[in-house]
Structure 1
Amino acid sequence: RSLCSIQSDHRGPNQKVISISVYGSSSNYTDNGMFAWETSIFSFLIPLANEVKLLLPSWIIRLYIDFTGSTKSQKNFLYNFSNIDICDIHNIPMFGSSLVSYLPGKMWRFLPVFDPFVDYFLSRDLDSPIMKRETETIDMWLSDNER
């Protein structure tokens, strides 16, 4: 099992993952109110998903997220992206809801380090755009690893 979701399991091994944590003030695990549901999560996530699809098409975004404070329609909207796996922090395989009690929100995005299905992973902030220069560096890094 992956450390995300059944959707991540279905992608199989050898995944390349861009991992992001989304948590807000209502989740009480280190305030990150900038990314509140009613303000900006989608304004950053939609462009990021499009950039990854265009510039890093073999990579998947894993969104480690606390849905506290979200509406059902906001939650459902996230499942419409083909290149985003939603990792509900209250339902992480092998941890269930216990993880949220002892791991701060800013650390959730590092879970792919321990995931047996992940070969490569990048940790990002939600508001960090993907740059062409960055993708060229990633391509060089991966080609060096294949030698």
Structure 2
Amino acid sequence: MIGAIENARSVKDIYPGWVARFYVSASVPEAVCDRLKELGADVVRVEGEDQYRNTLWRFKAFSDPGVEYAISRDCDSRLTRREAEAVDAWIKSRRKFHIMRDHPWHQSLILAGMCGAVGGAVDFDRLWLAAGEDCYGVDQNVLATLIYPMVQKDSLIHDSFLRYEMDSLKFPGQRMNGEFVGEVVDENGATDVTHRAALQAVESSALLRTGLTVKTRAAALLKTIKRKLAE
């Protein structure tokens, strides 16, 4: 909840003109919702039991025709200028979808907290029905199996390491102090030093970067073949 408040507070600085929107369950205290509203955020109460599938609620914004652009972020990370520069490049590209990967461990096709879409580009009802069994990572599964095949060719993709797609781009800005988009930050504002160490180890080694790219592109090709065979 601290992360939600911190992100709501920084929206005006990092994303001027944007509005933070939070989809919350009944378990979120009213005091937290009131504080988010005080900071200018929209708070949408959604009925239903607490379950893993609720991580899909955020994508309601992607299907909202009244939204010009929507970006999905996790509350355990913080908004940064690095990601905002990438979002600006995406908007200028006029592509319908935005995908970011900024760490060697960002190996999902689409990370749920590092993507964006033009309003109305995603059918939320179809996404919800495709979720299937309630389990940890259900949001990542649906994004990979349903959304990625639909949007890949109309996406701007910023990828610092894996480069699954041949037309993926580097991030437009310079990395500062080992930071990366989607970095987990705890309630005290601390980050995990092992995550930054892993990133810096790969960045400083051309051999590791090359090996990682070859391995992940082979894995992506295998996934594509399996998906085609299943169709």
Judge same fold: TM > 0.5, yes or no.
yes
Contact 1:67 1:75 in 2 (8 A): no
Equivalence map 1:74-93=2 (5 Å): 74-82=32-40, 84-90=41-47
Q: Which has the higher helix share?
A: 2
Partner of 2:26: 67
Identity %: 29
State the number of aligned residues: 94
- Mapped to 1, the partners of 2:81 and 2:44 lie a distance apart of 27
Deviation at 1:135, TM superposition (A): 0.7
Runs of 4+ in 1 over 6 A off after TM superposition: none
Q: Secondary structure at the match of 1:138?
A: helix
Residue deviations 1:42-98 (CA, integer Å, cap 9, x gap):
x2122211221101012111100013262x43443332121x1000103xxxxxxxx
* Gaps in structure 1 of 5+ consecutive residues: 1-40, 91-99
TM-score (norm 1): 0.55
Contact 1:66 1:88 in 2 (8 A): yes
- Mapped to 2, the partners of 1:111 and 1:103 lie a distance apart of 16
CA distance change for structure 1 residues 134 and 78 in 2, over 3 Å: closer, same or farther? Answer: closer
Q: Which has the higher strand share?
A: 1
Contact 2:8 2:36 in 1 (8 A): no
- Mapped to 1, the partners of 2:31 and 2:10 lie a distance apart of 24
Partner of 1:37: none
Q: Secondary structure at the match of 1:64?
A: strand
Q: Secondary structure at the match of 1:123?
A: strand
Which amino acid letter does the alignment assign opposite residue 89 of structure 1? V
Partner of 1:48: 7
Which amino acid letter does the alignment assign opposite residue 20 of structure 2? I
* Bigger relative contact order, structure 1 or 2 (CA pairs below 8 A, ≥6 apart): 1
1:127 aligns with 2:76: yes
Deviation at 1:117, TM superposition (A): 0.5
Contact 2:21 2:42 in 1 (8 A): yes
TM-score (norm 2): 0.37
Contact 2:33 2:43 in 1 (8 A): no
Alignment counterpart, residue 115 of structure 1, candidates 51, 55, 64: 64
* Gaps in structure 2 of 5+ consecutive residues: 96-231
- Mapped to 2, the partners of 1:60 and 1:75 lie a distance apart of 15
Specify the structure having the higher radius of gyration (Cα).
Answer: 2
Contact 2:23 2:44 in 1 (8 A): yes
Partner of 2:17: 58
Which amino acid letter does the alignment assign opposite residue 136 of structure 1? E
Q: Secondary structure at the match of 2:20?
A: strand
